[in-house]
């Protein structure tokens, strides 16, 4: 009976959500780390070619969140949520088009490594000029074409699997291009978003007579093709049979019986994913620092086995346990749960504890990567 009860609390749809969300976080974190390596190589090439100090060249596409942005992000998210709640009928078409454009770019980024692998034997990696649009490689053109095709099929069919594919692209792109510079900013951001998530799931119904978070997340939008056909008066049978679209702001998986869908918002993947990306970068930074110092030992009160445990694996296990706890709680209470209520403590608390025991807490708390880059550039000069 205990086995059957456990299976009733976590079914196949939840297992699929677990696996996909963890794979997205791991893949996005490693894509982010690879982008760091590529930027470092470009900086070295530029400095050697110019023969002067060019250490300030950075990738402008990468956005680093500072303390002020971390504090105001939950407020901005709350304002956006209220706009979608009160004015959804007025802005749904614009919001759908903007989401489709962003999903196209993000899914092209997700497909780019596969397209690079496929086009490498066939064509050189020379960029093709498209005038004012820029220069692109064959792999970039192929990934963008496939992404546009997928978005068009999703608009025509509205299938949940295509929506999940676009949501996966959004998750990976946001984890790869957004950075948390320190543990202090990570704690500010995740703590603020925990309060935001708890308030809009548990307490919004007392003020707005409706669960604002659930209503916005589950409300389908009008298909732009249907709206266009009505505006242009193309006839009753032109563009009217397209379905309404559930926007790719979440991952959904049907249960084995098809009676319900398991749903997880991409914010519950991206925000803990940013923390995991930060600790993966710190693990790599610490590994390089130890190799530069010829393997200097850690603090004397920590065993060698404890020193070998990476922050990334510790935080990833905490994310899985938090996600499992959130799923079990939602099945027990038969209601939507704020996932960050479980994910934030299960990821931050083990990370803070391990950083304190290893003696890295002070270094991780405030700009751990800044001193390394500054010192290395000074030595190069």
The answer to the question of residue 39 being in a domain is yes
Most confident of 9-18, 139-148, 367-376: 139-148
Options 197, 222, 241, 292, the catalytic residue: 197
Give the pLDDT band of residue 2 (cuts 50, 70, 90): very low
The answer to the question of residue 311 being in a domain is no
Q: Is the pLDDT at 149 greater than 80, yes or no? A: yes
pLDDT of residue 60: 57
pLDDT of residue 347: 95
The larger pLDDT score, comparing residue 72 to residue 50, is at: 72
The answer to the question of residue 303 being in a domain is no
This prediction's pTM: 0.86
Task: Say how many domains are in the chain.
Answer: 1
Q: Is the pLDDT at 210 greater than 70, yes or no? A: yes
Mark whether 268 is an active-site residue: yes
Mean pLDDT, residues 49-59 taken together:
44
Mark whether 222 is an active-site residue: no
Give the pLDDT band of residue 28 (cuts 50, 70, 90): very high
The answer to the question of residue 345 being in a domain is no
What average pLDDT does the structure give for the chain?
Answer: 82
Range of the domain at 19: 9-43+61-122+134-264
pLDDT of residue 51: 46
Mean pLDDT, residues 82-107 taken together:
91
The answer to the question of residue 355 being in a domain is no
Per residue in 279-333, pLDDT tens?
A: 999 999 888 877 766 554 555 445 556 667 789 999 999 999 999 999 888 888 8
Options 268, 283, 292, 360, the catalytic residue: 268
The answer to the question of residue 337 being in a domain is no
Percentage of the chain beyond pLDDT 70 is: 81
- Which tokens belong to 254? 């049907």
The answer to the question of residue 194 being in a domain is yes
The answer to the question of residue 113 being in a domain is yes
Q: Is the pLDDT at 255 greater than 80, yes or no? A: no
């Amino acid at each position: 009976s205990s086995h059957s009860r456990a299976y009733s609390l976590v079914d196949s749809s939840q297992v699929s959500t677990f696996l996909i969300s963890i794979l997205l976080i791991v893949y996005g974190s490693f894509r982010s780390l690879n982008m760091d390596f590529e930027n470092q190589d470009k900086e070295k090439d530029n400095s050697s070619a110019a023969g002067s100090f060019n250490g300030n060249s950075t990738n402008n596409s990468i956005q680093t969140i500072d303390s002020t942005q971390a504090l105001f992000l939950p407020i901005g998210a709350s304002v956006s949520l209220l706009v979608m709640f009160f004015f959804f009928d007025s802005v749904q078409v614009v919001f759908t088009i903007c989401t489709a454009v962003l999903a196209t770019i993000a899914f092209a980024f997700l497909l780019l490594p596969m397209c690079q692998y496929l086009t490498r034997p066939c064509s050189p990696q020379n960029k093709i000029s498209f005038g004012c649009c820029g220069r692109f490689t064959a792999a970039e053109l192929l990934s963008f074409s496939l992404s546009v095709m997928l978005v068009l099929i999703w608009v025509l069919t509205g299938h949940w699997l295509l929506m999940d594919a676009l949501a996966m692209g959004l998750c990976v792109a946001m984890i790869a291009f957004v950075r948390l510079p320190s543990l202090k900013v990570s704690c500010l951001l995740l703590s603020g978003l925990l309060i935001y998530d708890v308030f809009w799931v548990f307490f919004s119904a007392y003020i707005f007579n409706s669960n604002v978070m659930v209503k916005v997340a589950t409300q389908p939008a009008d298909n732009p093709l249907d709206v266009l056909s009505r505006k242009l008066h193309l006839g009753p049978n032109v563009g009217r049979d397209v379905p309404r679209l559930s926007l790719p702001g979440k991952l959904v998986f049907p249960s084995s019986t098809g009676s319900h869908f398991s749903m997880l918002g991409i914010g519950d993947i991206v925000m803990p994913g940013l923390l995991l990306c930060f600790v993966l970068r710190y693990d790599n930074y610490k590994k390089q620092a130890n190799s530069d110092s010829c393997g200097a030992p850690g603090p004397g009160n920590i065993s060698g086995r404890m020193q070998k445990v990476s922050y990334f694996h510790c935080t990833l296990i905490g994310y899985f346990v938090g996600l499992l706890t959130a799923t079990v709680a939602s099945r027990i209470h038969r209601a939507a749960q704020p996932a960050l209520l479980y994910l934030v403590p299960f990821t931050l608390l083990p990370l803070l504890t391990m950083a304190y025991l290893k003696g890295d807490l002070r270094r991780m708390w405030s700009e751990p990567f800044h001193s390394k880059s500054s010192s290395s550039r000074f030595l190069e000069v």
